[in-house]
Every structure is written in C-alpha cells, then in structure tokens.
Chains A and B, each alone.
Chain A
Amino acid sequence: MSKSINIIKSTAVPVNIENVDTDQIIPARFLKATTREGFGENLFRDWRYNSDGQPKKDFILNNPTYHGKILVAAKNFGCGSSREHAAWAIKDFGFDVVVSSFFADIFKNNALNNFLLPVTVGDDFLQKIFSAVEKNPETEIEVSLEKQTISIPETGEQDRFDINNYKKTCLLNGYDDIDYLLSIKNEIEKFETSTN
C-alpha cells in the first residue's frame, strides 16, 4: 500500500450511479481471502463481468477511453456493509482518490485508513467534473490534500474539501492510527484503572 499522499493529478473514471453500496463495489462471494491483496480484480464485479466472465462492454471500467487514479462517483457512495475490502479493491485497482458529493460513514473511514483519499465536493462541482470528463476523457483533475482543493486545471474551476487536521497530518506523513494509539498506551491503561 502506498503510504503518504499529497498532490494527485490524473485523468478520472466517472461512475455516475447514485447509492453505490459496498456489495456492488465488491460482492460478498469475493471476500474470502485472508490477505489484503488482489481485490482489484473483482472491483464492481457484477457490473463489470457477465456471469460467464466476459466483460460487459457498456460498463465504464471496461472502456479504455477512461482511465486514471481518480474515481468520480455519484451521491451516497459506499453505503451498506462495513467491508474494508471495498476500499482495498478500489485502491488495488489503482485509484488514489474517490470523489463524491456524499460518502457513507464507514466507507470514508475505511478509505482514509488505506490512504485512499475520499474527497467530498458540492453537488454542482460534482456535475462539473462529470461533464468535463464525459466530454473529454483526457481531462485532468488535480487534488491537493495540503491545500484541501480539487480543481479542473483546464477550466480553472476549483472546490474546497474538508478533512480533519489529525487525518490530514496522518495522510501527508504516512502515519497510521495504530502507531498513534500504541504511543499513548500508558494513558489508555490509566483510563482503564480510573473507570474500574
């Protein structure tokens, strides 16, 4: 897993479908692995492949015109099951950023824990990205975590996104939550004695 992120400039893949649940991102029957690798193969499995394993031509991930490190999704992305496999699959496929106007809570946390940056933009800006990318698949999108901005350099349009400071520092520096929590173990033990 690539650690630490800041500026990502790339073309994007638009999946303009609302309420994409994690069962679509990675169906349950592909959750049987005991490692974190290889889930990208089955990302959006049932939208991407027919039951005989042939790629479905009309699904965007099978269209070579669209490629890049940024997945642009419609509202309420990642709802449903808490499976972190969804974030692993997206990351493993090669995305570093997911853009939407609304993310489900657990998915957002899972993404952040895997250095996959969830960028929440306004509905209008999301539409702008969709139309720019659909019009010209080579349109680049630029995300700066440091500045908390997302822009379409070609048109100069830009939006800001929120992220809490702690998480931002973690992502910029490649720290993870477990390292932090382990470093305050004394305080956790003290807390346990004080509440018992």
Chain B
Amino acid sequence: MAKTLFEKIWDTHVVKTIDGGPAVLYIDKHFIHEVTSPQAFAGLKKRGISVFRPKQIVATADHNVPTIHQELPIKEELSRLQVDTLKKNCAEFGIELYGLGHPFQGIVHVIGPELGITQPGMTIVCGDSHTSTHGAFGSIAFGIGTSEVEMVMATQCLLQTKPKLMRINVEGKLNNGVVSKDIILYIIAQISAAGATGFAVEFAGSAIRALSMEARMTICNMSIEMGARCGMIAPDETTFHYLKGRLFAPQGINFDEKIAYWSTLYSDEAAKFDKEININAADIEPMITYGTNPGMGIGVSGHVPELSEINEKEKPSFEKSLLYMGLQPGTNIKGKKVDYVFIGSCTNSRIEDLRMVASFVKGKKKADNVEVWVVPGSKQVEKQAIEEGINKIFEEAGFNLRQPGCSACLGMNEDKIPAGKYCISTSNRNFEGRQGPNARTMLASPLTAAAAAITGEVTDVRELI
C-alpha cells in the first residue's frame, strides 16, 4: 500500500494500539533541558523508578543560561538552581549532559543535528515545542509536556493519536534576498497560526529540495507556529552529505547500510494526504511580522492591514495586537525605526545563518540607534565562527557576539528586550512579552535583521544587495 513519509516511520514505531484509543509509540531519541525536566525527574523519584533507557537521552542547558561570562556562576538564584538540578539529575540517572562549559553545549535543537544524533527515520521528542526542527532530517519529531517527558523517561514510549497528514509543496525558484525563514513566515501568514493544528506536515517541492540542511531546519522549526504536531522533509543526498562524518552518525559501512534504508523514506507517489497546499516560491518576498502571533506576517514592502481587510470576528484580537505593538492599521512597515536586532534562537543561530549575516555586513557598520546581539546556537557554532573570522566582522560592524543559549528568544534568562522597544528578531515567536514584558517583536530572516541593523529601521534587504 502506498504510504506517506510520516506513515512509514510511524508504522515501524507502534508497539501496540489501545482499542478505541491512542497508539503506544516507541521513541528513539529524547532530548531534555533544564526547564521542562525537573518535575519529570521528581515524578520518577516519587514512583521509585529509574530511567528506562538513559543512553537514549541527551541533556543540555540552554534556556536559563547567561550569554556572557558563562565561566562564572549563574547570577540569578532560581536559574542557577534549575541548571544545577539538571546536573544532579543527569548524574543520578546516568544521562549524558552537555552542560555549561562543555564543548557541545548549546540550544537543544541546534546540538542534536550538529552532533549527528538526529537521524532520518527516527522518532524524537523533547519537552520543547520546537522539537519539530529535527523533522528536517525525515524523522517524526515533536514537542511534549513534562508529564510526557516523565513517561518517556520511564518507558521510552508515549501514548499518541495519529495526526492527520498535510503536505505543503513549494515549487519554483526563490527571489533574490528571500531565504528559508521567509518561506515559513509566508506559509504561516497564508494559513494562520492555527492552520495546521492537528496535522503532521510534510514540506516538499523543488524549492524545499534546493535548500541546505540548515535552511530546512529553519522551516521545520516553525511548523509549530502554524499549530502543526510536527514538520518533516524527506531525506535525500543533502541530508546524507550533512550527516556523514558527524560524531554520533553511523560510521563506515554502517553509514552506507543506513543510507540504503534512509533512501526508502519518502512519500510514495500514490500516498494520500488529508490536505495539500501549493505555494509558488516566486510569490514570496522578504517577510516580517507586525503583530503578536506568527501568522501576522507581511512582505517588507507591504503595509499593516487596514481594519477593513480584517474579518469581523478577528477585529478585537487584531486591534489588541496593534495596540501592543504601537502600530497603526494601513501604515508601511518599511522605514519603521527599530531599537534592537536579535540574531539567534533555534530558528536561525546556526553557522550558515551567521555566515549569511557576516557576508552581508562585512565592511558595514551598525546604525547608532540599534543594539545588535548575535547569539550562536552552540559552542561548536561559536568556535566555527571564530575560526572563520566571523567574530571580527561582527566586531567591526559594532555587533555584540555573545555565548550560546536561547538568550532573548524567550525573556527568561538575563537577555531581555526592554518594555516598549522594537526588536527585529530571527527567533520564532512574537507573542506579547515573549522577549521581555512589553517588548515588541518583529520576526524576520537573518538577512532582513542584518539589513535593519545597518540602517536602524525596517529595510527591504533587496535594495542593499
């Protein structure tokens, strides 16, 4: 029978199906971090049980870590307690931890792929909604809550109901200045922040195939921003090439054998999806959000919608959102002054993102009215950036290159955007208060963010390249 990519992986991981209920799904890899794991460990202790398969779990500290002076103890007491608790729990339960100071430390969704832990055909979970990132390798990867973290620790399984399946085909060539972040912001703007709720989404089409692995991760990362259970892309030569030689990827003859299997992971021609959406790559321009959910995106050359363009039922949320953002309906977004530029987060903090920004800003200087933070996704990205001299380029441009972590993506650690300030951010969420109480976030690609860093305002990067 013809199967989708999702079904091929799902079917081989179902231990059993409960009558009239969910399936028991076997989980290959489980990532954990300091924020969503302590109560799960506490739960195990309360039940008096151990971790079932500690070797299938990898831990890191990312959400609460400072991004300067990581060699010093964390100042904030509760953050420090969480990071220390993770350390203790990992030691007690025999789990590998890439904590602060470890050469592999970084944002959980950056380190999994770069270490070769994330592989095609796997089921992967983490107590973090952006686990969807790992689907870029052709795996089923999704975020879970803390009770489910405990479940996976206890049994390496989860109870799951099979989601509906959607395919989004992006065909054609991207315009100059348009990158993968723009593709996903465009898709979310088209289908809304809840447009894929209940679905597992496969991204396909020539424009997706043409993307690098890191660019694909950016797309799958934000599947959750349209409500999707997970996002995925069929593995191909690009995937295999990326994985080859990575520390935890299969090596030598094993690798070749794996490729034979991985090559079978694609949606069969006759496979059925519950929904298909077609996007023309040429329609996409550099995108930016103006509101407080990721579906509120427009092309940089566009304008904030007029009240008359919004349907009646959505008017109250639209107005609430604009009030928060301090924007007027119908105004142009281009030329809007910005105060902060944040280049980082599990969406856009990989080496290619940093390279893209560096090659654009080389020889340029940031505008006086902006503060620019560049936060690499991991220690390895940081190291590579230094080896390639990217740090010098940033320094000359007046950018502040910091140490790895989630940083200003979520207003939890020390890096917060002050109230009322505008921040162009390469992260994934523009919710009220996401980057700090009353901070105003505009989501964009690393290129669009870099352009704003140079001009001090929302800029159409196409005019500068």
Contact = CB atoms under 8 A, between A and B. Distances in A.
A and B: interacting chains = yes
Interface stretch (A30-38, A59-67, A141-149): A30-38
A138 interface: no
Contact of B154 (A36, A113, A181): A181
B150 A178 contact: yes
Nearest to B14: A191
Given A106-B143, A109-B145, A46 B39 contact: no
B412 interface: yes
Nearest to B156: A188
Given A35-B39, A104-B194, A19 B81 contact: no
B161 A164 contact: yes
A98 interface: no
Interface stretch (A81-89, A129-137, A153-161): A81-89
Nearest to A165: B20
Nearest to A190: B15
Nearest to A24: B432
Interface string B20-42: 11101010000000011011001
Contacts of B301: none
B155 A185 contact: yes
B376 interface: no
Given A51-B419, A110-B147, A178 B155 contact: yes
Interface in B144-189: 144-148, 150-151, 154-157, 159, 161, 163
A17 interface: yes
A195 B155 contact: no
B342 to A, nearest CB: 15
A23 B147 contact: no
Nearest to A17: B317
Given A46-B432, A177-B147, A191-B26, A76 B82 contact: no
Interface residues of B, number: 68
A23 B24 CA distance: 30
A167 B151 contact: no
A80 B125 CA distance: 16
B20 A79 contact: no
Contact of A19 (B47, B78, B293, B434): B293
A27 interface: yes
B145 A23 contact: no
B362 to A, nearest CB: 34
Contacts of A81: 128-129, 410, 429
Contacts of B38: 33-35
A75 B38 CA distance: 31
A195 B15 CA distance: 10
A176 B145 CA distance: 14
A21 B150 contact: no
A41 interface: no
Nearest to A33: B78
A101 to B, nearest CB: 11
A98 to B, nearest CB: 15
A35 B317 CA distance: 34
Contacts of B433: 23-24, 27, 46
Contact of A29 (B159, B412, B438): B412
- Max chain A Cβ within 10 angstroms of own Cβ: one of B39, B156, B197, B431: B431
**Interface hub of A35, A36, A178 (most chain B Cβ within 10 A):** A178
Contacts of B85: 34
A23 B434 contact: yes
B344 to A, nearest CB: 15
A191 B147 CA distance: 23
Interface in B8-60: 12, 15-16, 18-22, 24, 26, 35-36, 38-39, 42-43, 47, 49, 52
B151 A177 contact: yes
Given A21-B431, A24-B431, A181-B159, 10 more contacts: A18-B316, A28-B63, A80-B431, A105-B163, A106-B143, A113-B148, A178-B155, A182-B154, A182-B155, A187-B15
9 contacts: A18-B316, A27-B437, A82-B129, A102-B194, A105-B229, A166-B22, A166-B159, A167-B21, A188-B155
Which 4 A-B pairs give the minimum distances between C-beta atoms?
A: A166-B21, A84-B145, A32-B78, A110-B145
